Structure formats: C-alpha cells, structure tokens
Amino acid sequence: MSYVVIRSRQDVPRIMYFLRRHRSQAAVILDDLSVPQELPHIKPYNAIPGPKPIPILGNTWRLLPIIGQYDVSDVARLSDIIYRDYGKIARLSGLIGRPDLLFVYDADEIEKIYRQEGPTPFRPSMPCLVKYKSEIRKDFFGKLPGVVGVHGEPWREFRTKVQKPILQLKTVRKYIRPIETVTGDFIRRMEEMMDENKDMPSDFDNEIHKWALECIGVVSLDARLGCLDPNLSLNSEPQRIINAAKYALRNIAILELKFPFWRYFPTTIWKNYVKNMDYFVKICTKYVDEAMERLQKKKITPDSDLSLIERILANEPNKKTAYVLALDLILVGIDTISMAVCSILYQLATRPEQQRKMYEELRQLMPDPNTPLTTKLLDEMVFVKAFVKEVLRMYSTVIGNGRTLQHDTIIRGYHVPKGVQVVFPTLVTGQMEEYVSKSNEFLPERWMKNSDENYSIHPFASLPYGHGARMCLGRRFADLEIQILLAKLIRSYNIEYHHQPLEYKVTFMYAPHGEMKLRMMKRLD
C-alpha cells in the first residue's frame, strides 16, 4: 500500500502523474493545504453526503429522546441506517461539543487510512475519560495516563512500558492453568444455578461478568477476587467492580453523543461516572500494593518466573504504571469479554450443527473431559477459534473502530480536513458481499486454512480488535479466556436455548439483549 503527502503546490504535477498510475492503491495526505485547483477531481469536504444539520441544534437533535431520529443507545442500527441512506462515505456533522463523525464503509479506504498512520495514531477519544484522567484525577495519573482514552506521545510512552510483557506469548501461556482453574469454578457454579429444566437464571449475563472479572483479576491484579462465591452480596467488592465497569462504559454514548452538559456543570450522570471511576482506582491501588508486597518477599528470580504484574513492578520504578495498566485492562475488559461470551454461547445454543462440530473436535483432542489444557491442545482447536472469529464477524461485539485524522486526507475522492473523526463500522463492512463471500451465511469454515471451499474475505473488513499500533492490548488474553471457557464447557455440556429469540442491541458492546436462559445438558461421553 502506498500513500503520498502533498506539502506544496509544486508537488502537484508529480502527484497528478502518481494518481493516474496508482490511484486505486494510493492514499493521499494534504499537509495543511486546501484542495489545489489543479486536482479538479477531488471534491470538497462539504460535498460528502449525510444528514443535514439545522441551525443552533445541528445534528445533535437527531440523538435526542422523543424528537430524535436516531436512538443513541443503538449505534449499531445507526451505522447500518447511515450506510443504506448515504452509501460508502457519509458525514454526521453539527454535533454540539464534538468533531464531525465521518463513516467510511469502504474496506480499501479503511486499509489506506490504517497503513498511512504513524507511530502515534489518534483513536477517537472518550472525552469523559480524558477529562477524568487529565483533570479530575490529575493528582493520581499525572504523566502516566495509560492506554485508554489517551493519545500522542503520552500514549506511546506508556504503551512502550507495558506492551512487551502483556503481548509476549510466553507470558500469556503462563495463565492457561490459572484461567482453567477459574473456568472450572465457574462451570461448577453454573451447575449450582440450574433450575429444574437445567436452564440458567435470567440474569446469567451478570454471572458471565463475574467469570470475566475473576479472569481479569488473575491477570491484571495477580489475585482471586472471589467473584464466583455463591453467596456474593449485591454490595460485595466484586459486584461493585462489575457495576462500576458497566456504568462507566455503558454511559459513554450518552455522555459523548448527546448534548454534553457535563462539560459545563456536574450533571448527575457525570457525578456517578466519577464516583465509579474513583472506585476503580481504589481497587487497583489496593491489589497492586498487595502484589508489590509479595514481590518484595520473593527471592531474586528471572522474569520468566514472574507474573505479568510482577514483571511490570520489577522493571518499572513507578508502581503507578501497574496501577494504571490494571485499571485500563479491567475497565475495558469486563464488558468486552463477557458480552462476547454471551454472544458466542447464544450462537452455539441456536446453531446445534455448528456446536456438534465443535464438540467432535474437542472430543478428539480431549478423550477425557478432565484433560488439563496445554498450549498444544489450544493451538489444535481450529474449529473453536474459527467459530469465535465468525461470531465476531457477524455480531462484532465492538461495532466499529476509528481514527482522528492528523492530516488533511483524500478519502473516496473527497478532501477531508484533519481533526475529523473517521469511523470504520466493522459490523457493517464485515457483512458486505463485496468484501466477504457468502457474507450472509454463518460459516466458521471460512477462517480455516484446510477448508474445502476457497472463501474470500478482505483483511480490513472485519477487525474486532482493531489494527496496527492501537490494536487491543489485551487481545491475546481475551482470546485465551474465551477459548478455555469453550473447551471446558462444550466438551462436557450441550448448550440449548428454548425461549423467544434474543435481539442484538448495544449497551457499550453489541450483544444479545434479554434473559440468557441457556440450558445445560450433561454429555454422556
């Protein structure tokens, strides 16, 4: 993939020649220039189609209750409506208190934008989290703002400190046994929760949140949090952590897309947001301090024998690095992983033939259901991994990715100024026939190298974890936790669903909405 930068009008003849030869492969950046008259085929930004703003209220009125055209709580449907109404590029301008949103549904253009970004790409920020970290709790975060809601050099410096231990396969593989232990406890808890029909309770999604938090606690805090205790009270620490994460994440759309009153005075929703974030900081500080005490009592040991949090504490002079990393992993990990698992289990329960294929693969690899999991076994679970990828293609938990442009850029023939937030709705592009063959069919086999049929899929059509330098930092742990749960659960149980079909909706994640009354039937072999 190539891209060119226009920095002066003297460059235009060369660029014109380049465009004629390579236009379909080239991304163009205009370095703070207006569109040169010598490039007449480049259309101005205001020519991009999209909902027309009205005086004073702009397009913000479309997101308001009662009078609004769009439901801010269903961003997935909004992304699909905009594509159907305006095509492969559309802008939503006139949003009070925030930059324009530019929706791009062209996988080739998405690839160009990703490939032209430098070492510090700007992902559309969470203004509420930025305000919390940089203003409300500047005393705590200081020069260590973390990786979520942070951009530029501060983001790069922090990520450099933590990415090696968290992305190394040998570090991830050390957690196979601890996560398997947590998952075994969770399955026993599921057995206790069954009703007379073997159905899970109506709030089973909250139980999945507890499993996800227990796994994340093992990884990011080096501790068992007690989330799977059957007598857990509503005011218990684990449940309060889950509630805080849900509140902080599920109100982001309201804080950021509706009129941002919270920027000017402390609204109720903003005060509750700060309260929940403060609780996160308190919990992370408590458990990291305990990990530090354990580390100090250990004899000198190589990095390979240390946990993730111990490696960071041993190699970073400021232990706040560990505080902030743990905060970010928990904040984005609980809802992301738990909602993905809800979706995957629901799809398994409603696709018996696909579940049978998964079970047969697992039975072949693990004749004894109690076989301890190993790296080798997990690597050989080809269909398990393919099924997860296909669920995330058709029902992507994260409905889209995006970037804030750092340069004026040409996108689909339009001159787009820097500062615009470009949105890549992967939930839509992942189901477009021109990028994914048989896109309307659920076919895990499309992800398997030894498939009998040659399926095609554009590499930038479905990106549930993002791409490039800002790809999800905890993706390997997320994959590991999901794969271990499926291996242990489906090897021993057939999962069924015998109630009204669930609709997919967006809270913060895109997932089945309603009572997850999955039925667990013990397998006989």
Annotated binding site for heme: 472
Nearest in space to 204 (alpha carbons), one of 342, 353, 358 = 342
Are 181 and 481 contacting, i.e. CB atoms less than 8 angstroms apart? no
Are 4 and 28 contacting, i.e. CB atoms less than 8 angstroms apart? yes
The residue written with tokens 């919390």 in the block is 132
Binding-site residues: 472
Are 377 and 369 contacting, i.e. CB atoms less than 8 angstroms apart? no
Nearest in space to 277 (alpha carbons), one of 126, 475, 158, 151 = 126
Are 311 and 168 contacting, i.e. CB atoms less than 8 angstroms apart? no
66: left (phi over 0), alpha (psi -120 to 50) or beta: left
- What is the DSSP code (8-state) at residue 132? I
Helices (H), 144-193: 152-167, 169-173, 176-193
Rounded to 10 degrees, the C-alpha dihedral 80/84/89/90 comes to -80
In angstroms, the CA 334 to CA 212 distance is: 6
Q: How many helices (H) and strands (E) does the chain have?
A: 19, 12
